[in-house]
Amino acid sequence: MSKDTPPTVPTHTTKQRRSSDQVTLSQVAKAAGVSPITASRALNHPDKVSDSARDSVLAAVEKLGYVPNLLAGSLASSRSQLIAVIVPSLINTVFVEVIQGLQETLEAEGYQILLGNTDYDLDREYQLVRTFLGWSCSALVTAGLRHNKACHTLLTNCGHPIMEVMELGEGMDLNVGLDHVAAGRCMANHLIDKGYRHIVYVGARLSQDYRASMRFEGHEAVLKGAGLDAPLVELDTLGSLQAGAEGLAQVLTQYPDTQAIHFANDDLAAGALLAAQRQGLNIPNDIAIAGFNGLPLGQHLTPQLTTILSPRKEMGRLAAKELIRRLSGKNVYRRQHDVGFKLQLGEST
Amino acid sequence: MSKDTPPTVPTHTTKQRRSSDQVTLSQVAKAAGVSPITASRALNHPDKVSDSARDSVLAAVEKLGYVPNLLAGSLASSRSQLIAVIVPSLINTVFVEVIQGLQETLEAEGYQILLGNTDYDLDREYQLVRTFLGWSCSALVTAGLRHNKACHTLLTNCGHPIMEVMELGEGMDLNVGLDHVAAGRCMANHLIDKGYRHIVYVGARLSQDYRASMRFEGHEAVLKGAGLDAPLVELDTLGSLQAGAEGLAQVLTQYPDTQAIHFANDDLAAGALLAAQRQGLNIPNDIAIAGFNGLPLGQHLTPQLTTILSPRKEMGRLAAKELIRRLSGKNVYRRQHDVGFKLQLGEST
DNA sequence: ATGAAAGCGCTAACAT
DNA sequence: ATGTTAGCGCTTTCAT
């Protein structure tokens, strides 16, 4: 309640600044009858201090309600327990799940996440990287391997571990992801195996979601290889379920003899499936539908959605583990980690 | 390029530390031919510096690739551009959407979000608050009004603005949310108006999701007021769609003459709806289903889900705005902000 | 095992 | 408008 203003009346001796009435380590030390540095050690390296010293420091900490100033500590040691995580969007559950995996692992090790959202803007990413480096974050996690020139330079030269997640590839440092081109191939192969010949790929904002266009590449290669056309429908609709519904409509008018639609993700596919049902279409007889991600929703639809399961949370966990490994000075055997994917057969194809 | 390489070999005079070869403001100042403080002002208070000084500082910044050390700046000024955001979970989209709203508004003002996840554990929340205070975050946002004793004390005494979001009520400082009891009443009234008499409320982990139990309170009050029973089914299943399906099953066996189910949220309701369809049940004739949140999914189902729309992103935005208002020293007219809710009629009731 | 002194990079306070 | 000085709270280095 009472957020009254602090005493703005300094004693008129020297330059006093201590506006914040925060308890400092020195005060703890004094209360414990030791020097500040001993108090510091008691908290950070308990084994390098006598039992009695440690006990009295801990007691003083408790009594005074001391909260360490992490800013000061990090500045002095030029190390921080901050890890920057930069994602293009939070609307897409996929990134949230990766963050979950990261967070659960990193928080357990005492790291805090500095979260940044680029909104699919690479210049914004660069700005965020600058800011986060200014916070002396001890590592950075970025979604994806694509950055603008300045950002790339900054990251490669910053001296901190960099973890690029989502897609597998030659990154600047560490990388955890999966092969999206292969995933696209996988689904295309499945659809061909099922006997479909008129197959359309539907994605939304592919220039932003370039991983979806990597999947299209794989899809296209397989179809072309089988002597088939590989038409692409690109949508610009916000809201994925809605976009899926529109994708379906567009395909039905633009390519009326389509037998199967390969959607760039499960949200689109689910939107199409639900819209199709509302229109009385039979899936997969009238039209087959496939997605990507393996979201729970797909398994609760009737028919169940055929999709590709990507281990998103696991990706976050693994990325965090490898980062921690690196930060604790251990050997990093592999810079690249393929988390793989799995074709999940449903009834929609 | 006139400068020599960073001195990795300390001159043997005094205690040298500069391990990080980071460009400092002093170096920028020297390159610009001004004093460090002028360089500082040129960057932080451009209007308090001559044009020529500002230009040369900016040029030097560019040339040297200077990245401000935010740690040092914050320590010196005892202000940071960090805002702590503490949520109980990221699995629940609701919190993610609030974070989105916060982030979009806060990042635009130059604030960074420190994200914490309590996993519905109030002791963990306390720890996170301590840590974040250690980072001198300039404000804290927490999801909910319930905290443990220590956390409450710490927050009220920390001297920073506190924003409690999600539910409306008497908080410690600022509050943006909606009245969940009223929301529960609203839906119960709707169901009664529709003529349903046997109505079951289904929730998952209500001790954690206490806002869902607040909605039940409202629901219960209305039903009791109408002389009806208000049975409650509580689930312990992870994964909301799945839980919804199980909730439906449990209701059907436990309360076979149920006419309507009021689910604690849309995920549960959608799971039940999809499961009901798979079982060949007609909704709402065999059984009516209602949810809470107004997730897009509900509007894409057939029948469309009757639910209550909560302005989650808007909640985040408003919370951020009020916080910024407070942080910039402006008057805060109201501490509490009711973002309201809206009954969204579907075909499922 | 403990301490004294110096310094991390920056900005507030007090000059001019 | 610019500079000087001191200090934010902590940890490093070096000494005992």
At B143, the amino acid letter reads A
Output the pLDDT for position B19. 57
Distance between CA atoms of B320 and B161, rounded to whole angstroms?
11
Mean pLDDT of all residues in B75-97: 92
Nearest-angstrom CA–CA distance, B103 and B98: 9
Nearest CA in chain B to A72: B75
Would the CA dihedral through B331, B332, B334, B335 be positive or negative? negative
Q: What confidence score (pLDDT) does residue B169 get?
A: 96
For the packed helices B266-278 and B240-254, what is the interaxial angle rounded to 10 degrees?
60
Query: pLDDT-based confidence at B147, cuts 50/70/90?
Result: very high
* Cβ-based burial of B282 (10 A; exposed 0-12, middle 13-18, buried ≥19): exposed
Tell me what pLDDT residue B334 has. Answer: 85
Instruction: Tell me which fold the domain B180-309 belongs to.
Output: Rossmann fold (3.40.50)
Query: At A16, which amino acid appears?
Result: Q
pLDDT-based confidence at residue B30 (cuts at 50, 70, 90): very high
The proportion of chain A whose per-residue pLDDT surpasses 90, expressed as a percent, equals 87
Edge-to-edge strands of the sheet including A288-290? A232-235, A199-204, A260-263, A288-290
Q: Fill in the DSSP letter of residue A302.
A: S
How far apart are alpha carbons B201 and B87 in whole angstroms?
A: 25
User: Are the CB atoms for B208 and B220 separated by under 8 Å?
Assistant: no
Q: Tokens for A262?
A: 């390969």
Name the average pLDDT for chain A: 92
**Statement: residue B86 has pLDDT above 70:** yes
Interval A265-307: pLDDT, tens = 999 999 999 999 999 999 999 999 999 999 999 999 999 999 9
Q: What is the mean pLDDT of residues B267-283?
A: 97
Asked if strand C comes closer than 7 Å to B40 Cβ, the answer is yes
Cβ-in-10-Å burial (0-12, 13-18, 19+) of B101 comes to buried
Q: Sorting pLDDT into bands at 50, 70 and 90, what band is A321?
A: very high
What pLDDT shows up at residue A2? 35
3-state secondary structure of B200: strand
The most confident of the ranges A45-49, A154-158, B193-197 is: B193-197
Segment B230-259 mean pLDDT = 96
How is residue B306 annotated by DSSP?
Answer: B
At residue A19 the predicted structure's pLDDT band, cuts being 50, 70 and 90, is low
Whether B79 has a pLDDT exceeding 90, the answer reads no
What pLDDT, on the 0 to 100 scale, is given for residue B269? 98
Long-range contacts of B123-131, Cβ-Cβ distance < 8 Å, separation of 24 or more: B123/B148, B125/B86, B125/B151, B126/B150, B126/B151, B126/B154, B128/B84, B128/B86, B129/B84, B129/B86, B129/B154, B129/B155, B130/A67, B130/B154, B131/A70, B131/A112
What angle (nearest 5°) sits at the alpha carbon of residue A27, between those of residues A21 and A29? Answer: 155
Q: Is A180-309 in the same CATH topology as A23-66?
A: no
Give pLDDT, residue B238: 77
Mean pLDDT of B274-295: 97
More confident residue, B329 or B235: B235
B24 touches strand C (CB under 7 A): yes
What is the token pair recorded at B13? 């005079």
Q: For the beta carbon of residue B228, count every other beta carbon within 10 angstroms.
A: 17
pLDDT reported for residue B21: 73
Lowest mean pLDDT among B117-121, B269-273, B283-287: B117-121
Residue bearing tokens 């990090």: A74
Name the residue type at position B311: P
Q: Write the CATH number of the domain with boundaries B23-66.
A: 1.10.260.40
What would the two tokens of residue B136 be? 């001198």
pLDDT at A17 (0 to 100) = 64
Nearest of B107, B94, B27 to residue B63 by alpha carbon: B27
CA dihedral for B182, B184, B187, B191, sign (positive or negative): negative
* CB atoms A80 and B69 under 8 Å: no
Q: Is B336 on the interface with A (CB under 8 A)?
A: no
The answer to whether the CB atoms of A117 and B107 lie below 8 A apart is yes
Q: How far apart are CA A207 and CA A205, in angstroms?
A: 6
pLDDT band at A9 (very low <50, low <70, confident <90, very high): very low
With beta carbons less than 8 A apart as the criterion, state whether A211 and A144 touch.
Answer: yes
Is residue A74 over pLDDT 50?
Answer: yes
With pLDDT > 70 as the criterion, what percentage of chain B qualifies? 94
Note the pLDDT tens digit of each residue in A31-50: 999 999 999 999 999 999 99
DSSP 8-state assignment for residue A293: B
Determine the pLDDT at residue B72: 95
Domain regions of chain A by residue span: 23-66, 180-309
- Cβ–Cβ under 8 Å, residues A312 and A94: yes
Cα–Cα distance for residue pair A265/A95, rounded to 1 Å: 13
Select the residue from A1, A274, A279, A300 to test the B interface by mutation, using most B Cβ atoms within 10 A.
A300
Give yes or no for residue A195 having a pLDDT over 90: yes
B108 touches chain A (CB under 8 A): no
A278 in B contact zone (CB under 8 Å)? yes
Q: Measured in angstroms, what separates residue A36's CA from nucleotide C5's C1'?
A: 13
Taking the C-alpha atoms of residue B76 and residue B80, their distance in angstroms, rounded to an integer, is: 10
The neighbouring-strand residues paired with B260 are: B199, B288
CA distance B263 to chain A (A): 17
Cα separation values, B47 from B25, B40, B51, Å: 18, 12, 9
B27 has pLDDT over 70:
yes
Report how far residue A272's alpha carbon sits from residue A121's, in angstroms, rounded to the nearest whole number. 28
